[in-house]
Amino acid sequence: MVSDDADRLAYTLDYTGFREYTLFVKNLATGELEPDRIEKVSTVAWSARPGVLLYVSEDAAKRPYRLWRHRLGTTSDDLISEEADELFRLHVWRSRSRAWLFAASRSFTSAEVRYVPAGDPAGAWRTVLEREKDHEYDVDHGVGPEGDVFYIRTNGEGRRNFRLVRTPVADPRPDRWTELIAHREDVMIEDVDVFAGHYVTHERDDGLTRLRVTEIASGTSHFVEFPEPTYEVDSEPNAEFASRLYRFRYQSLITPASVFDYDTADRTLTLLKQTEVLGGYEPARYRSERIHATAPDGTRVPISLIAPKAAPRDGSSPLLLAGYGAYGIPYPVTFSSSRLSLLERGVTYAIAHVRGGGDLGKRWHDAGRMLAKRNTFTDFIACAEHLIARGDTAADRLVIEGGSAGGLLIGAVLNMRPELFRVAVMRVPFVDVINTMLDESLPLTVGEFEEWGNPKIRAHYEYMKTYCPYTNLAARRYPSMLIKTSLHDSQVMYWEPAKYVARLRTLEPDGRPLLLKTVMTAGHGGPSGRYDALRDLAFDYAFVLKQLDRRS
């Protein structure tokens, strides 16, 4: 990020893929690097004071926990605060208005935000709201009819899908709040972008993101319309506070990533850039659908799907079904030019938007975490069975894939219904749940007690035993499997998938392909170089197509 005087650029670099970042500062006038070097930095923000920035450093378990103030050219930084609760992670940022610095401590279920004027980084920090159980909130700064205000997205008092309120900066207590958008059980407010004359809310309705634009002066709102049955919308940086344009990125399983400027006053869209797809890509050759499966408890589970228009619906087509279902993160419905190599060979691609993710809001997440985690797996199985019943595929040509917590999903369903699948691809999979969650020295473990549970608590331990992929391995006929890990992974240590494969090899009765691939130069996200990443994905697709006998 660039300093207010535009003289310096602050940036961080990770050299190994372990997600351990070093802070550098570049002098933009001379092109030289400043002597300042700070290790293990997670987030950074410039103050409005020349040469003064704030950053957050990590502890031995990679938890961001200390907030520092640094003046360029000095070696002794000022410690502003330290987050002692290991469930919480600290980060710092600057409001779009550039007026305020914010520092937030967050766990998976609660938050606490403090603030100080950007021009007074050495000043006293005030707290918007003290942390409390099951209350998450975000804060941004703007203006309102009452003057200088904070906009707060809050899910306190049981309003799990959040509501939006506005409150005076001088006194942000709840009794001064003005409600702008009420809580709704079926629509989640995911994000809010505040500008000088309007604000934009991202609202997830039945798994799809809608953009609501609200004029601050009049309070009138309208939605930006999107044409496809399933798609993905993400905001771009939108650094300018006093702008009537809103920049966002739109894509779908059929439409390549496209950057638009939306004029919030004229309500017009301007396409700025669309990712080029080489090789004569013809979108009209494919069909995209949004369908629903029914879980064992009656819950409707969305599925996003793309298939060649010529693909038959008689069970003869191969299909790749992907899933994740954790941390309240929705599975993105994104375009992939690489995926065309599967589609061109007649392979349908589908996404199971299972519980545990955030696809249908906070309650969707709640229904697939902790002691409700098995819903994630039964949802995925229900999606697979629905696609088979519709004739989109058959069990002997169904491929499943997932990474990280999605690898846990795949590992769990393979133990529950191995006969339902032909091939499984597991990338950096979290498969040894109990042992990993017992080791509090590992990155993520303590903070994720609120996602998976703490196996030192008997009820949590007994529940984890019912689904942990490693614990439940047995001598059964598993499908062909490709398991991938990375030496420098900081989220799922490389030995976890290796241990899983080693045990599985002692149990597999008929010698179906079981491959372990360890990338020696990458971290949790796999190879970072463009061509290295393409080669890595090509390896996965080659394995899948070979097992399906669709190589030509």
Question: Distance (Å, rounded) from C-alpha 14 to C-alpha 373?
Answer: 33
Q: How many Å apart are CA 324 and CA 451, to the nearest integer?
A: 14
- Please name the amino acid found at residue 288: S
Q: Give the DSSP letter of residue 32.
A: P
Between CA 116 and CA 216 the distance in angstroms is 24
The one catalytic residue among 392, 486, 524, 536: 524
What is the C-alpha R_g of the chain? 24
The helix (run of H) or strand (run of E) holding residue 415 is: helix 405-416
Is there a catalytic annotation at residue 105?
A: no
Specify burial of residue 203 (Cβ count, 10 A radius: 0-12, 13-18, 19+).
Answer: buried
| Dihedral sign from CA coordinates of 338, 340, 343, 349 | positive
Give the pair of three-digit tokens for residue 137.
Answer: 């909130």
Tell me phi and psi for residue 198, to 5 degrees.
Answer: -160, 170
462 phi and psi angles, rounded to 5 deg: -65, -35
Residue in 95, 489, 490, 536 annotated catalytic: 489
Q: How many CB atoms lie within 10 A of CB 296?
A: 10
The region, left, alpha or beta by phi > 0 then psi within -120 to 50, assigned to residue 125 is beta
Inter-residue contact 520 to 532 (CB < 8 Å):
no
User: In the numeric block, which tokens belong to residue 194?
Assistant: 């505040």
> SS3 sequence, 175-234?
HHCEEEECCECCEEEEEEEECCCEEEEEEEECCEEEEEEEECCCCCEEEECCCCCCCEEE
Would residue 489 show up in a list of annotated catalytic residues for this protein?
yes
Task: Evaluate whether 46 touches 3 at the Cβ level (below 8 Å).
Answer: yes
Cα distance between residue 23 and residue 186, in whole Å: 42
Beta bridge partners of 471: none
Instruction: Indicate which residue of 42, 47, 404, 490 is catalytic.
Output: 404
For tokens 């990125």, the residue is 249
Starting at the edge strand that comes first in sequence, how are the strands of the sheet with 64-71 ordered? 41-46, 52-58, 64-71, 78-82
Q: Which of 407, 400, 409, 410 is nearest to 548 (CA)?
A: 400
Whole-angstrom Cα distance, residue 487 to residue 337? 28
How far apart (Å, rounded) are the C-alpha atoms in residues 116 and 139? 13
Q: What does the alpha-carbon distance between residue 298 and residue 302 come to, in Å, rounded to a whole number? A: 13
Which residues are catalytic, by number?
404, 489, 524
